[in-house]
Structure 1
Amino acid sequence: MLNNLKNIKLGKIIFITSLLFITSCSTTFAYNNLGWLSSFWIDDYVDLNKSQSKQLKAIINDTRDWHREVELPKYKADLLDLRQLLNNEADTAQLMDKITQVKQHWRNLLLHTSDPLIELALTLTPSQRSEMVENIREQINDEIQEHASLAKEEHQQQRLERQLDYYKQWLGKLTSEQQTLISQANSGHISTSDLWYDYKLTRLAALEALFSQQTLSEAEFTQQLHTIITEREQYMSNELLEQNEQNLKAYAHLLLKLNKTLSVKQLAHVDEEFADLVGTVNDLLTD
């Protein structure tokens, strides 16, 4: 009986750990598909010449190798830290601190790639710079139009369906109590879509203004583009930052509530999913 209780406690730790960690490190972080960095930064927005494409490929390869060596071990350490944290009866504040810490990995990636990407940006012609800005603007406007095509209630329903699918992936079949908890949390979620679009357009405006300046020194250009790449919160409104924090706290609350409802079968399901995640990280470390 005692062993069974220990197993259930460990399973609950694994459940929350995996849910927190999957947002930062998942199998979609594809080391064997190097287009992820290229597509995110430049390649989808501007046609590069042969020399620039070679330069970008070098950035991608360097980043992949650095990330495997430096960042992936931190992911594993975060997993172990979370297990220990939750084993000691974590509260909402502790979970939020850990989620914030995990998010730092994305900033680490931006900091590592910023200098070589700025070097590449310095080689862009005025035509390429304009092309890049216009393509990014078109993408944002497409997102805005797509979002506006649905009513608030439709967005809320779509989000609920995604949430239910997400937790089913980790827990298996959900109980009515669990579905209610997820539905209640979804109803309380603050939609920040409009604020996110404002942020994206503000940041793009800063990039466009920088690209249009003709009298900046290389040092001034580098400093300003470094800020645009790495300091994204500078372009977010206080309202967006506050609502993000509220949604994060609500997410941590939901995880703690769900954690108390898990059955033995669900714990086994979570354990399997978690083992797959850890196995993926280990594979990437040794590949």
Structure 2
Amino acid sequence: MRSVCLILVLFISACSSTQFAYNRAAWFAQWQIEQLVDLNDDQQSRLEQRLELLHSWHRREELPRYHALILQVGNLLENGVTEPGYLKLSDQMEDLWLRLLNRSLDELVLLLPSLSDEQVAELLASMSDKNDEFYRKWIVIPEEELIERRRERVFDSLEQWTGDITQAQRERVVEWAENAPDVYTLWYNQRLKRHEAFAQLLAERKTADVKSGLRALTVVDESRLQAWELRRLEDNRRRANALMIWLGQNLTPQQRDHLLEELAEIAEDVHQLQSQG
């Protein structure tokens, strides 16, 4: 789901301590990369340096933006959720994500030309495994299971951020889950196309403009999609936005207080993280 859910908007949720998770973000990113390909000592050292630079930039430049956005979410909840307000915050969150994506490419792209042919083969095989996992999880399952996964993802997040869910909220989420268009097949086909293009880029990694090539692969170019694909994506966004706006407008007082407390705690965590920079 590409749209930002107002109720689930925050970027670090599962960990009990935002500061604990954030301060280990560089280590976690390195671990994720090394799950895809075995790096030699020199590559590991260079990766650590680039990730530390990325982390320092994010703490210095981006955390103030996150803090401001969290405060805006709280203000919207206190003053009443509206469609324009929600969409504005959604756009701001997407801008933050794209800023992080672009800066990540700037820092990490230097690693790719150093990969050996054996490492490239390992990386592509790991990515194929990820695609196969996506296929098994979202494509070949019965429709009833797909609907259940959709609604359970929203239920779990709602319970985390707002506490107990009302019957009306459950019914609204179920309605969305049963009628949401299937975008998983579309995304899977895009994954396969980007995998093929990434393999070609890696084959030319010694001479190609790797940064530009990677940037083109990380975000779907909707101008290249077929008309039916664009219609399905737009339908999916419209339905998702409508669900999240409805949920924001139909919180109980207790749920709103619970969510505002969660936001306040994370805002304070982010403020303290800024001061550690």
TM-score range, shorter chain: 0.7 to 0.9
Shift of 1:126: 1.8
Q: 1:280 to 1:190 in 2, by over 3 A?
A: farther
State which of 253, 259, 263 in structure 2 corresponds to 1:264: 253
How far apart in 2 are the matches of 1:184 and 1:209? 42
In structure 1, what is the Cα distance between the partners aligned to 2:12 and 2:46?
A: 27
The answer to whether structure 1 residue 277 and structure 2 residue 266 are counterparts is yes
Separation (CA, whole Å) in 1 of partners of 2:79 and 2:162: 22
- Alignment counterpart, residue 153 of structure 2, candidates 162, 168, 172: 162
Shift of 1:156: 0.4
Match status 1:187 vs 2:175: no
201, 207, 210: which one pairs with 1:217? 207
Larger radius of gyration: 1
**2-structure distance, mates of 1:152, 1:175:** 25
Name the CA shift for 1:185/1:123 in 2 (closer, same or farther; >3 Å). same
- Equivalent in the alignment of 2:169: 178
Q: Does 1:21 align with 2:12?
A: no
Q: Structure 1 vs Structure 2: percent identity of aligned residues?
A: 25
SS for the counterpart of 1:67 is helix
Aligned 8 A contact 1:196 1:240 in 2? no
Match 1:32 to one of 23, 39, 44: 23
Q: Distance in 1 between matches of 2:166 and 2:211?
A: 54
Contact 1:170 1:270 in 2 (8 A): yes
Q: 1:17 to 1:253 in 2, by over 3 A?
A: closer
> Following TM superposition, by how much is the alpha carbon of 1:226 offset from its aligned partner in structure 2, in angstroms?
4.1
CA contact (8 A) 2:173 2:243 kept: yes
**Change in CA separation of 1:232 and 1:186 when aligned onto 2, cut-off 3 Å:** same
- By how many angstroms is 1:47 displaced? 1.0
Partner of residue 96, structure 2: 105
How big is the shift at 1:125? 1.4
Letter in 2 for 1:250: R
Deviation at 1:151, TM superposition (A): 0.3
Q: CA deviation at 1:227?
A: 2.9
Separation of aligned partners in 2, 1:212 and 1:85: 49
Distance 2:187 2:13 in 1: 23
CA distance in 2, matches of 1:195, 1:283: 41
Contact 2:63 2:274 survives alignment (8 Å): yes
- Distance in 2 separating the partners of 1:235 and 1:53: 37
Q: Contact (CA 8 Å) 2:151, 2:174: kept in 1 or not?
A: yes
Equivalent runs, 1:71-220 vs 2, <5 Å: 71-84=62-75, 91-213=82-204, 217=207, 220=209
Task: Give the aligned partner of residue 59 of structure 1.
Answer: 50
Note the residue ranges of structure 1 that are not aligned, 5 or more in a row.
1-15
Contact 1:92 1:249 in 2 (8 A): no
Unpaired stretches in structure 2, ≥5 consecutive residues: none
Displacement after TM superposition at 1:17 (Å): 8.9
Aligned residues: CA RMSD: 2.9
Number of residue-to-residue matches in the alignment: 267
How far has the Cα of 1:235 moved from its partner? 9.4
Cα distance in 1 for partners of 2:77, 2:224 equals: 32
How much has 1:90 moved relative to structure 2? 5.3
Q: Comparing 85-94 with 64-73, which one deviates more in the overlay?
A: 85-94
Which residue of structure 2 lines up, in the alignment, with residue 13 of structure 1? Answer: none
2: CA distance between counterparts of 1:162 and 1:234?
Answer: 26
1:129 counterpart letter in structure 2: V
What is the Cα deviation at residue 202 of structure 1? Answer: 1.0
- Change in 2 beyond 3 A, CA 1:81/1:146: closer
Alpha-carbon deviation of 1:149? 4.9
Q: CA deviation at 1:222?
A: 4.3
How far apart in 2 are the matches of 1:171 and 1:84? 16
